[in-house]
Copies of this chain bind each other. A is one copy, B any other.
Amino acid sequence: MAKVITFGEIMLRLAPPGYQRFLQSPSFEATFGGGEANVAVSLSRFGAKAAFVTKLPKNAIGDAAVGELRRQGVCTDLIVRGGDRVGIYYCEKGASQRAGKVVYDRKHSSIAEAQSADFDWNKIFDGAEWFHFTGITPALSPAASAACAAACAEAKKRGMTVSCDLNYRKNLWTPADADKGMRPLMRFVDYLIANEEDAEKVFGVKAEGTDVSTGRISRAGYENVAKKLIADFGCKGVAITLRESHSASDNGWGGMLFTDGGSCFSKTYQVRIVDRVGGGDSFAAALIYALMDERGPQAAIELAAAASCLKHSIEGDFNLIGLDEAEALAAGSGSGRVQR
């Protein structure tokens, strides 16, 4: 299987222990994560050759980010070193009716201030077949947006497949800015991935019959969203994660993949949440893996849903599972019996 490139930000993630609130006690769990890095990690763990492209400062924190990616098998040779800081996000787990909370401190990070010229696209895309980015990267800064556009164009020029996860973040930009930032990139995108509210937030394409705040989901509504996005942007496929938010502890979870063959819906899982951050990224990664592996749309959406269902049981941003575990769940083994 060939090389996938993901491009974006990896941040230091600072999380209080267990269900504590920020700095309730003087300690943070300190790991790394970020939408595009998470996808690279998942792909690498599944056996794909994945490289993550970003810019990180030449200091001990940047070194640690590189080391952690390397530990997960991600190629870090294409990471540019320089700039001032590693972006940070403070991440507090929700529970029951209390929502999880994220405080971003990612402005002025090395990647947010990186220029397109920092990246040697020839070297980066040499031998690569798939390029993945998310809506977070263009939201970081005008420079990051420009670099992202350049990456898309370069990838497309080389005939690579391009996927994009809309990943709308209200703390980074407004819907209006998101529309302005994302729309021009859509012409490069073969596979568009979104969660249950991204399309509405970014492009104003609403799923009728759905109320995300109550967790009520309409399948037909999402089929129409996909059709509209394909009509507007000419993508080959649109994949949407379908989260039913019962509470911060319990969610329904599944996904839809819409291609020219129509819609395929995955099973719906009722998940008891350990950590839901990175759920969408693990979905995107497994979908990309299955598509590269030409498994067919139904198999692809089942693998994506199963992998990302399991992500909800894993601490941290990275989906620390193996392909075998995702496949077993997709095949029906969700009883959680101890394997010994």
Contact = CB atoms under 8 A, between A and B. Distances in A.
A221 to B, nearest CB: 18
A121 interface: no
Contacts of A27: 25, 27-30
Contact of A320 (B24, B247, B338, B339): B24
A310 B339 CA distance: 22
Contacts of A97: 269, 271, 306, 309-310, 313, 329, 334, 336
A61 interface: yes
A26 B23 contact: no
Nearest to A22: B60
Contacts of A166: none
The secondary-structure label for the interface of chain A is loop
Contact of A314 (B19, B100, B329): B19
A339 B60 CA distance: 13
A248 interface: yes
B335 A214 contact: yes
Contact of A71 (B67, B92, B248, B339): B67
A246 interface: yes
A140 interface: no
Nearest to A335: B245
A67 B61 contact: no
A108 interface: yes
A214 B104 CA distance: 42
A182 to B, nearest CB: 18
Contacts of A316: 24
A321 to B, nearest CB: 7
B26 A101 contact: no
A263 interface: no
Contacts of A70: 70-71, 73
Contact of A274 (B19, B29, B84): B19
Nearest to A88: B88
A207 to B, nearest CB: 16
Contact of A22 (B61, B85, B104, B245): B61
27 contacts: A14-B30, A19-B315, A23-B67, A24-B320, A27-B27, A61-B105, A70-B70, A70-B71, A96-B271, A97-B309, A97-B334, A98-B310, A98-B314, A99-B339, A100-B338, A101-B338, A102-B339, A104-B340, A108-B108, A213-B333, A213-B335, A246-B336, A247-B335, A248-B335, A248-B336, A249-B272, A276-B338
Interface of A: 14, 18-31, 59-61, 64, 67-68, 70-73, 84-86, 88-90, 92, 94-105, 107-108, 169-171, 212-215, 245-250, 269-274, 276-277, 306, 309-310, 312-316, 320-321, 325, 329, 332-340
